[in-house]
Chain A
């Protein structure tokens, strides 16, 4: 196997392990359980065709993100990270992040929750996605997470999660090991 093919395989497995660890953490989270959520139904998956088809059903309130292009992005971006958040068969969130050429910073390129005020993971989409992204950031050696183009209405949320604007205007947080 060539080195680049081996690396591609390494990142594929690391993405999977980052998702699995985040899923395990969510499933054992007592605060979620106390909230009445059956955490055994929470799943972290890649952005598959099934996820894209489910997002297509989100309706007119959904942002017209290019989720259909994610498969193509993943081919060209071996260190990119994709995650879809499910509760049983209900798609609740989608995220694509990538360090691109950086060795230090992984960037959240797009993040979207289901545009519905009543889905079971409401209020936790960014936190769940970030948990998986932070796992992956640790595995690939990144020390910082950046939210690119944060939605204005979500900035207070990111700030409460610990993000802050650096002197160049980037919304960032340090990775905690």
Chain B
């Protein structure tokens, strides 16, 4: 009989989570690039309300 490939949901969740964390942990120092620029420009540089769409 063929063995089932069913993976329990908690194990699947743990696997997806581990994959994501491994990838994101390898990000370079540029991961805060947006925040660093925004903060250097000051609060008023960003319009309030609608930004896209």
Question: Is the CB of A124 closer than 8 A to any CB of chain B?
Answer: yes
- Contact partner of B20 among A17, A110, A148, CB < 8 A? A17
The reply to whether B23 and A154 contact each other, CB–CB distance below 8 Å, is no
What residue of chain B has the Cβ atom nearest to residue A66's Cβ?
Answer: B53
The reply to whether B28 and A176 contact each other, CB–CB distance below 8 Å, is yes
The reply to whether A122 and B51 contact each other, CB–CB distance below 8 Å, is no
The docked-state distance in angstroms from the alpha carbon of A112 to that of B33 is 20
The reply to whether B13 and A139 contact each other, CB–CB distance below 8 Å, is no
The reply to whether A177 and B27 contact each other, CB–CB distance below 8 Å, is yes
The docked-state distance in angstroms from the alpha carbon of A117 to that of B17 is 37
Shortest B43–chain A CB gap in Å is 3
The reply to whether A154 and B9 contact each other, CB–CB distance below 8 Å, is no
Shortest A164–chain B CB gap in Å is 14
Question: Is the CB of A89 closer than 8 A to any CB of chain B?
Answer: no
The reply to whether A154 and B16 contact each other, CB–CB distance below 8 Å, is no
Give the residues in chain B near A160, CB-CB below 8 Å.
Answer: 37, 41, 45
- Known contacts A13-B13, A124-B38, A157-B45, A147 near B52 by CB under 8 Å: yes
Binding site for A on B (CB under 8 A): 6-7, 9, 12-13, 16-17, 20-21, 23-24, 26-28, 30-53
8 interchain residue pairs of minimum CB distance: A110-B53, A123-B43, A127-B38, A17-B20, A115-B49, A127-B34, A13-B16, A111-B52
25 residue pairs A–B, Cβ–Cβ below 8 Å: A1-B6, A1-B9, A13-B16, A13-B17, A17-B24, A21-B24, A25-B32, A29-B35, A29-B39, A111-B52, A123-B38, A123-B45, A127-B39, A130-B34, A138-B27, A148-B52, A150-B51, A151-B50, A151-B52, A153-B47, A154-B46, A157-B41, A157-B51, A161-B38, A162-B33
